[in-house]
Amino acid sequence: MPTNKIWYLRKRPIGDVSAGDLELVTEAMAPVADGMVRVRTIYLSLDPTNRIWMSDMDAYLPPVELNAPMRGGSIGVVEESGTDAVPVGSLVNTGLATWALYNDLPADAVNVLPSLPGVPLTAFMGPLGATGMTAYFGLLDIGAPKPGETLVVSAAAGAVGSMVGQIGKIKGCRVVGIAGSDAKCRWLTDVAGFDAAINYKTEDVGAALEQHCPDGIDINFENVGGPIMEAVIARLNDFSRMPLCGLISTYNADPEANTGPKNFDNLLMRRTKLQGFIVIDYLDRFGEGAAAMATWLMEGKIRYETDIVEGLEHAPDAMARLFTGANLGKLVLKVSDAPA
Amino acid sequence: MPTNKIWYLRKRPIGDVSAGDLELVTEAMAPVADGMVRVRTIYLSLDPTNRIWMSDMDAYLPPVELNAPMRGGSIGVVEESGTDAVPVGSLVNTGLATWALYNDLPADAVNVLPSLPGVPLTAFMGPLGATGMTAYFGLLDIGAPKPGETLVVSAAAGAVGSMVGQIGKIKGCRVVGIAGSDAKCRWLTDVAGFDAAINYKTEDVGAALEQHCPDGIDINFENVGGPIMEAVIARLNDFSRMPLCGLISTYNADPEANTGPKNFDNLLMRRTKLQGFIVIDYLDRFGEGAAAMATWLMEGKIRYETDIVEGLEHAPDAMARLFTGANLGKLVLKVSDAPA
């Protein structure tokens, strides 16, 4: 029998995730049941939304229960199979599984990854994964970009933001990104093709937006919340759109201390359309989104970075990188090796 | 020469409008120019948005300049005409004119009112006027009500809110109104046909919403802002809609003290579509809206109240009724008599 390693949620974090909130447990595994597949995790996806799942807030999914395995998405290889539909050796996306070395999942819950020439496995965690789909549907469905419009994206060097900006460029927008280091800003302008990037840690975001958005802001793809969001809202144009994708600046904060944007009234004055969305709402259109993103990727129009941390035991520490601004691109945890 | 009486904006109000912010001036009038009409005001429309126009905020229209006549919409009768297109005696809607006994306006800027059997002139200030159109387009275009859904409307006994709820009933919604007195709440349920009404001055709004919206809230037609808005946002359903029509609780407040809703993040979690709008954005569709509203009115499906204050000299005092919750239905100032 193989043994499994599973991260259990033991306490609901207050503020930052800390030692003792989760526990890594080694367990024996039962045989694989009929109709199930045993997936060995290669890459575990680490995302800001993981922090939401650890809280008992009324979110878009129920919170992870205390003393249950932590929820997460991953890519892995099928090591044992209880069905002919998904043979051993298949590379699959698990959808929502757990933070574990192995996940036993119903065969119809996993998606076998297509083989695309020149596209590495990490792309299925980024542009072709949930974060890529988040960018694709949030920007195109809600943001409705038109050529010549100005798009601002916060957390721009993150997994979602970096895709949003590049899709915006493909659609003919002026694209301005907000990120947390000069290195990230250079990547945005020099590699990802953004028109401008603002380092919110060293620049006055409002003044920089004035400079880089001379015609105002038509689309605010919002990932962050807080004062950065207020600076963007203050410069929205009439009939602007605001896909509300995330509020990462608030996830670790005291819920009682949260406030909405002080200039909320500008959403009225500017007749802004703000729409919250969660990528799982678009599950039935992932095929469309992945096909478009794969085409752009193979045409060289989409660049992406993967920030890889190795070792299942580092999952909580690695997740902290999302909130300190340490990571560039998609943060993944490499749990085990891909097949040769 | 007739003399005119005009309210000039002298100071930008801080908090409530007070004596000295405006001044009523008597002036001689020049002859009516070619292509212009001289409209004697019968009813002057008093609306929360007037308060916005007095401030120097970056709103949807430029502020009224200091020492300029106060902006306002009205209904009147043409007393002199410099064009055959609009003869003397015509009853017209002035669009945006001023707080004055007489307005000289380009003939193509006024709309001659149709004569509808059994429909009094005040209806053109209410269901068939800007507030009716605000309700019609905000609810139907943005709120997109479906039969069986739950609609909550704040400032429900006001000119806009009372129309929103009744249109919601026509569209098959469960309609819950929030208003500021037991008398208003009785009018909402007994006359306007709302399913329930909540007196925010005497009831716990959150608890009352729990009681009256057992299936949650699908549409929040927002007129008010502040804690009432937060109580509604807390109970929104997934994929809810929130036409953002007004934020009257904030207009007289210290702008620095304003905050957005503390539970702004719920707009993300519930994937709410919030959209700010201003009725003038729908000007080119007023024909459609007015036809629908006139039909419902003549069928007896729409009830409305007009809160009439007499005398141009009372304009600022009358406007205060909007912010104290004193008025039921559309607040208008009767400035002079309609033709017999």
User: Which pLDDT belongs to residue B171?
Assistant: 98
Using CB atoms, pick whichever of B60, B250, B271 lies closest to residue A278: B271
Full 3-state SS string of chain B: CCEEEEEEECCCCCCCCCCCCEEEEEEECCCCCCCEEEEEEEEEECCHHHHHHHCCCCCCCCCCCCCCECEEEEEEEEEEECCCCCCCCCEEEEEEEECECEEEEEHHHCEECCCCCCCCHHHHCCCCCHHHHHHHHHHHHHHCCCCCCEEEEECCCEHHHHHHHHHHHHCCCEEEEEECCHHHHHHHHHHCCCCEEEECCCCCHHHHHHHHCCCCEEEEEECCCHHHHHHHHCCEEEEEEEEECCCHHHHCCCHHHCCECCCCHHHHHCCCEEEECCHHHHHHHHHHHHHHHHHHHHCCCCCCCEEEEECHHHHHHHHHHHHHCCCCEEEEEECCCCCC
Q: What is the mean pLDDT of residues A20-47?
A: 96
Contact B266 A58 (CB under 8 A): yes
User: Which pLDDT belongs to residue A243?
Assistant: 98
Instruction: Using an 8 Å CB-CB cutoff, list chain A residues near B281.
Output: 271
Nearest residue to A234 (alpha-carbon basis) of A272, A277, A179, A194: A272
Q: What is the mean pLDDT of residues B242-258?
A: 82
Q: What is the mean pLDDT of residues B53-60?
A: 90
User: Which pLDDT belongs to residue A255?
Assistant: 65
Torsions phi, psi for B287 (to 5 deg): -60, -45
B148-175 pLDDT tens trace: 999 999 999 999 999 999 999 999 999 9
A114-148 pLDDT tens trace: 988 889 999 999 999 999 999 999 999 999 999 99
User: Which pLDDT belongs to residue A258?
Assistant: 67
Using CB atoms, pick whichever of A266, A270, A273 lies closest to residue B273: A273
Sorting pLDDT into bands at 50, 70 and 90, what band is B258? Answer: low
Torsions phi, psi for A36 (to 5 deg): -105, 160
From the CA of B267, how many Å to the nearest CA of chain A?
6
DSSP classification of residue A187: I
From the CA of A69, how many Å to the nearest CA of chain B?
23
When the pLDDT of each residue in chain B is averaged and rounded to a whole number, the result is: 94
Nearest residue to A265 (alpha-carbon basis) of B278, B264, B234, B260: B260
Contact B225 A278 (CB under 8 A): no
Sorting pLDDT into bands at 50, 70 and 90, what band is A259? Answer: confident
Comparing alpha-carbon positions, the chain B residue that sits nearest to A222 is: B268
Looking at domain A130-280, does it have CATH number 3.40.50.720?
yes
User: Which pLDDT belongs to residue A327?
Assistant: 82
Comparing alpha-carbon positions, the chain B residue that sits nearest to A234 is: B58
Chain B contact probe: residue of A55, A274, A278 with most B CBs at under 10 A: A274
User: Which pLDDT belongs to residue B268?
Assistant: 96
DSSP classification of residue A143: I
**Alpha carbon B192 to its chain's center:** 17
From the CA of B152, how many Å to the nearest CA of chain A?
18
Contact B271 A60 (CB under 8 A): yes
Q: Which residues touch B17 (CB under 8 Å, ≥6 apart)?
A: B51, B54, B316, B319, B320
Tokens (6 digits) for B51:
């308060």
Comparing alpha-carbon positions, the chain A residue that sits nearest to B264 is: A260
Contact A271 B276 (CB under 8 A): yes
User: Which pLDDT belongs to residue A248?
Assistant: 87
Q: Is the pLDDT of residue A218 over 90?
A: yes
Query: Helix or strand or coil: residue A220?
Result: strand
Q: Is the pLDDT of residue A97 over 90?
A: yes
Sorting pLDDT into bands at 50, 70 and 90, what band is A1? Answer: low
Using CB atoms, pick whichever of A60, A262, A270 lies closest to residue B258: A262
Q: What is the pTM of this model?
A: 0.92
User: Which pLDDT belongs to residue A251?
Assistant: 77
Comparing alpha-carbon positions, the chain B residue that sits nearest to A249 is: B265
Comparing alpha-carbon positions, the chain A residue that sits nearest to B235 is: A58
Residue range(s) in chain B whose domain bears CATH number 3.90.180.10:
3-126+305-334
CA distances from A340 to A37, A45, A77, A336, B176 (A): 20, 21, 11, 12, 62
**Which top CATH class is B3-126+305-334?**
alpha beta
Using CB atoms, pick whichever of B250, B267, B277 lies closest to residue A276: B267
Using CB atoms, pick whichever of B57, B245, B268 lies closest to residue A247: B268
Contact A269 B276 (CB under 8 A): yes
Long-range pairs of B307-310 with CB within 8 A, sequence gap ≥ 24: B307/B331, B307/B332, B308/B43, B308/B122, B308/B332, B308/B333, B308/B334, B309/B46, B309/B333, B309/B334, B310/B334
Q: What is the mean pLDDT of residues A171-185?
A: 97
Q: Is the pLDDT of residue B250 over 90?
A: no
Contact A271 B60 (CB under 8 A): yes
Contact A271 B271 (CB under 8 A): no
Contact A273 B274 (CB under 8 A): yes
B271-309 pLDDT tens trace: 999 999 999 999 999 999 999 999 999 999 999 999 999
When the pLDDT of each residue in chain A is averaged and rounded to a whole number, the result is: 94
Dist. CA A184–CA A156, nearest whole Å: 8
Sorting pLDDT into bands at 50, 70 and 90, what band is B324? Answer: confident
DSSP H helical ranges for chain A: 48-54, 130-137, 159-170, 182-186, 205-212, 226-233, 248-251, 265-269, 286-298, 315-324
% of chain A at pLDDT higher than 70: 98
Dist. CA B325–CA B157, nearest whole Å: 9
Query: Helix or strand or coil: residue A183?
Result: helix
Dist. CA B173–CA B226, nearest whole Å: 25
Comparing alpha-carbon positions, the chain B residue that sits nearest to A271 is: B276
Q: What is the mean pLDDT of residues A39-56?
A: 95
From the CA of B222, how many Å to the nearest CA of chain A?
10
Q: Is the pLDDT of residue B256 over 70?
A: no
Chain A contact probe: residue of B239, B244, B262, B279 with most A CBs at under 10 A: B244
Instruction: Using an 8 Å CB-CB cutoff, list chain A residues near B245.
Output: 268
B91-150 pLDDT tens trace: 999 989 999 999 999 999 999 999 888 899 999 999 999 999 999 999 999 999 999 999
Instruction: Using an 8 Å CB-CB cutoff, list chain A residues near B60.
Output: 238, 268-271
Q: Which residue has the tokens 């605001």?
A: A242
Residue range(s) in chain B whose domain bears CATH number 3.40.50.720:
130-280
Comparing alpha-carbon positions, the chain A residue that sits nearest to B281 is: A271
Chain A contact probe: residue of B137, B264, B267 with most A CBs at under 10 A: B264
Comparing alpha-carbon positions, the chain A residue that sits nearest to B247 is: A265
User: Which pLDDT belongs to residue B331?
Assistant: 95
User: Which pLDDT belongs to residue A256?
Assistant: 66
Contact B271 A281 (CB under 8 A): yes
User: Which pLDDT belongs to residue B118?
Assistant: 86
Using CB atoms, pick whichever of B268, B278, B281 lies closest to residue A276: B268
Contact B261 A266 (CB under 8 A): no
User: Which pLDDT belongs to residue A257?
Assistant: 67
Instruction: Using an 8 Å CB-CB cutoff, list chain B residues near A259.
Output: 259-260, 262, 264
